[in-house]
Structure 1
Amino acid sequence: MKNSIIAFVSLLLLASCNKNESKTNLHITGNIKGLKDGTLYIQKYNDTSLIAIDTIKIDGQSTFESNLDLKSPEMLYLYLDRGVTNSLDNNIMFFAEPGTINIETNLDSFIASAKITGSKNQELYEEYKKINSRFNDANLTLIERKFKALKSNNTAVLDSIAIAQDNNIKRKYLYATNFAVNNKDHEVSPYIALAEIYDINIKYLDTIQKSMTPKVAKSLYGKKLTKYVNDIKKSEAK
């Protein structure tokens, strides 16, 4: 009888543990070299504002971890409150998805040194950003040339720069569209459509939306993209 009671209690404890474990599906680990004191906030967008979904106190140890319940793959932010100084270098974007994600960085170059592993969506987003940065750099160069042409009132050069800027934007948007379609089985696809090329011609957004796999279409960003495309179509039909 005693053994039966012990076994029954053990089963209850095991069931309780499993129930608690099932509440979270995202495990975040990390290390911020050089950080001894401060507060980390894991944030997400709620409508148009960032809200904290977890708070981590750093007191002597530079390592940290968090366990969260992630309903769908989503872009999250690791915000560092340095306590004594204000800095623009304090918020790391990372594309979270169920599983274990690790973030390694250092205090001096918090964003630039960040290495994020464990998320396929993050890996794809970094691939996208690497190519996309070339279009951004090209645009900055053209802006510099435009400023000089304005000073010298060189209309011929200004016209050529305007054409070059237009072509650069077209290439940038076409690349984003192709990248989203080619990665239609990952949530990064609708995210790029919504965050990077939301103002592109509706036919391209429609193409991305229709290309999404059923799993992605049911995700947070998949649903948002479908609604966004439908809203534009309704508006244009009036």
Structure 2
Amino acid sequence: MKKLSIAFVTSVLLFACSEKKLENNLHLTGNIKGLKKGTLYVQRIQNDSLVALDTIGIDGNSTFETNIELKSPEMLYLFLDRGVSNSLDNNLLFFAEPGEVNIETTLENYIADAKVSGSKNQDLYYEYKKVDRRFQEESLDLIEKKFKAMKSKNNLEIANISAKQESNIKRKYLYATNFAINNKDHEIAPYIALSEIYDINIKFLDTIQKSMSPKVAQSLYGKKLTEYLASLKKKQQ
């Protein structure tokens, strides 16, 4: 009976430890070079609003550390309240996932200098944005050229630029679709579908959704993509 009691207590303790591990399974660390005093807020989007998961006070030491409950890889925000500045450069987006994630940046260029490590989804996000930035730059360049053509009332040039704009959008969407499909084993796939190409032809979203691995399909964004796709199909009926 005594042996049975010991076994029972041991199992309860192991279960409690595993539950505790699940509760705070993201260990987030970092350093904001140049920051002497301020407040950091780890936030997530919930019901279309930013909700704080944790608050970290900075006073003299620019390093920070916290533990967050994360059931699935998810885009979070690290908001910096500088206290004396109204800078718009204060909300850093990063793809968090269970494990050790580190953020290194500077106070001067909080977002531009940010380097996030420890997250495979973040690595893939960097890879995606590197190419996507080219489409954005081309888009801005074409907008500028179109504005000049409209000022000079050059209709032929306007039509030519409009065709290039349409082509640029198509290439951007095709790239995003292929990237999501090629990375179907990672949560970045449904995230890109939902955040970058949600208005693409439904057949492409359907292809991405069907290509997701079982693990990704059960993730936060995997479930959201499935729900979103179902709502689109229902509207078409």
**TM bracket, shorter-chain basis:** over 0.9
Measured in 1, the distance between the counterparts of 2:72 and 2:49 equals: 19
Q: Give the secondary structure class of the aligned counterpart of 1:146.
A: helix
Measured in 1, the distance between the counterparts of 2:47 and 2:18 equals: 33
Deviation at 1:23, TM superposition (A): 2.3
Measured in 1, the distance between the counterparts of 2:208 and 2:16 equals: 43
Task: Provide, for residues 173-211 of structure 1, a one-character-per-residue CA deviation record: whole Å limited to 9, x for no partner.
Answer: 000000000000000000000000000000000000000
The aligned counterpart of 1:123 is: 123
* Runs of 4+, deviation exceeding 2 Å: 11-23
The aligned counterpart of 1:26 is: 26
The aligned counterpart of 1:178 is: 178
The aligned counterpart of 1:232 is: 232
Deviation at 1:84, TM superposition (A): 1.1
Task: Provide, for residues 141-188 of structure 1, a one-character-per-residue CA deviation record: whole Å limited to 9, x for no partner.
Answer: 100000000100000000001100000000000000000000000000
The aligned counterpart of 1:6 is: none
- CA change 1:73–1:150 in 2 (3 A) is same
The aligned counterpart of 2:48 is: 48
- CA change 1:66–1:151 in 2 (3 A) is same
User: Structure 2 regions of 5+ residues with no counterpart?
Assistant: 1-10
Q: How many residue pairs align between the two structures? A: 229
- CA change 1:13–1:111 in 2 (3 A) is same
For structure 1, which segment, 16-25 or 79-88, has the greater mean C-alpha deviation from structure 2 after superposition?
Answer: 16-25
Deviation at 1:24, TM superposition (A): 1.0
Q: Which amino acid aligns with 1:160?
A: N
Deviation at 1:20, TM superposition (A): 3.8
Measured in 2, the distance between the counterparts of 1:76 and 1:40 equals: 13
- CA change 1:152–1:117 in 2 (3 A) is same
After TM superposition, the structure 1 = structure 2 runs for residues 1-238 of structure 1, keeping only pairs within 5 Å, are 20-237=20-237
User: Structure 1 regions of 5+ residues with no counterpart?
Assistant: 1-10
- CA change 1:19–1:45 in 2 (3 A) is closer
Q: Give the secondary structure class of the aligned counterpart of 1:101.
A: strand
How high is the TM-score relative to the length of structure 2? 0.92
Measured in 2, the distance between the counterparts of 1:185 and 1:66 equals: 28
Measured in 2, the distance between the counterparts of 1:208 and 1:16 equals: 38
Q: Which amino acid aligns with 1:114?
A: A
- CA change 1:223–1:161 in 2 (3 A) is same
Task: Provide, for residues 198-235 of structure 1, a one-character-per-residue CA deviation record: whole Å limited to 9, x for no partner.
Answer: 00000000000000000000000000000111110110
Q: Give the secondary structure class of the aligned counterpart of 2:23.
A: coil
Measured in 1, the distance between the counterparts of 2:184 and 2:168 equals: 24
Q: Identity across aligned pairs (percent)?
A: 66
Q: Give the secondary structure class of the aligned counterpart of 1:222.
A: helix
How high is the TM-score relative to the length of structure 1? 0.92
